[in-house]
Amino acid sequence: MIFATGIIIGLLIAILIVATLTFFRRVIEHKVTVIEKQIDVMGPKPKGFIVEPETDADEARSEIIAENKRKGRDTTISELQ
């Protein structure tokens, strides 16, 4: 009996929470967007990035793949090693 009462009360509380969140959805979304904008303004600003150049092996692989594409054939793994 106590177990069934606990389950029923738990379901009622869950339904109450879902109904409350559904009712106040727009208010919550508005406040969340305002907070997100404030965080974006206060956060660090990206100024640039570092691009590492391709290694010689990567360049050679790219050339082999491009050549095989021009010829219209597949590139095997043994060609890239």
* Domain extent listing, the chain: 1-49, 54-81
Within 24-55, where are the H helices?
25-42
79 pLDDT higher than 90: no
54 pLDDT band, cuts 50/70/90, is confident
Cα angle 53, 55, 56 (rounded to 5 degrees) comes to: 130
Q: Is the pLDDT of residue 5 over 90?
A: yes
45/19: higher pLDDT: 19
Considering the chain, what is the average pLDDT of its residues?
A: 89
